[in-house]
Amino acid sequence: MVAQRNPLYSAISLIGVFISLACLYVTLAAPFIAAVQVIVYAGAIMVLVVFVIMLLNVEIAERPMRLRALVPIAVMLAAVLFAEAVFMIYFVQASPATPTRNISDVGLTRSIGEGLFTTYLLPFEITSILLLMAIVGAMTLARTGGLLSSRAAVVPGDQVFAKEMLNRQKYIDDLTPVTTHSTEEARGLLGVEDQDRSPKA
């Protein structure tokens, strides 16, 4: 997955990794987590990522590899890390008494639901607040320009606007409201493009 140059291939490999992990969860007797893994990760999150990749559609620019001098040091450190891993696996295998597994109801949807709504109720609610914050944050980021949308309606006649709502470059450091007396003036202040809203005859 890391070796791919194109982010789209990388994303598809990542989906493969997620589905393999879901299979591992099934072998670990956690069917609920496996289902959530497929639905949330391989379904929702990766669809979002692939959507963004396709939306932005950036060409891959080949760039020269920097820090070439550090490659031997990196190989040496990787060898040390690998030796440590082998050492640890050897001693774990040599140590006695890994716990044996029995049949139990841990990991079934029922037990997870009971746990979520009894012992872990507070983290569950905090998670819901986090999701709400994510929704608000995503909306704020997706919005462009000022607080008003570019298609905000301007009604004819006198109207009063708060300075914060208007084009920001003009009115920095001044918060008194502005009164306009015509639709054209209000359009200019709001930065709304001129569009024909008159009813069709």
Partner 1 sequence: MTPQLSWYLALSAVLFTIGVVGVMVKRNVISMFMCIELMLNAVNLTFVAFSSFFRDLSGQLFVFIVMTVAAAEAAVGLGIIIAIFRNRESLDVDDASSLRL
Positions in the binding site for partner 1 (CB under 8 A): 1-2, 7, 10-11, 14, 17-18, 21, 24-25, 27-30, 32-33, 36-37, 40-41, 44-45, 48-49, 52-53, 55-56, 58, 61, 63, 81, 85, 89, 92-93, 98-99, 101-102, 104, 106-107, 111-112, 115-116, 120, 123-124, 127, 130-131, 133-135, 137-138, 141-142, 144
Q: How far is the CB of 152 from partner 1 (least distance, A)?
A: 20
Rounded to whole angstroms, the Cα distance separating 192 from 180 reads 14
**Which residue, 56 or 69, is less far from partner 1 as judged by CB?**
56
Q: Give the position of tokens 């008159």.
A: 198
**Which residue, 64 or 199, is less far from partner 1 as judged by CB?**
64
**Which residue, 4 or 167, is less far from partner 1 as judged by CB?**
4
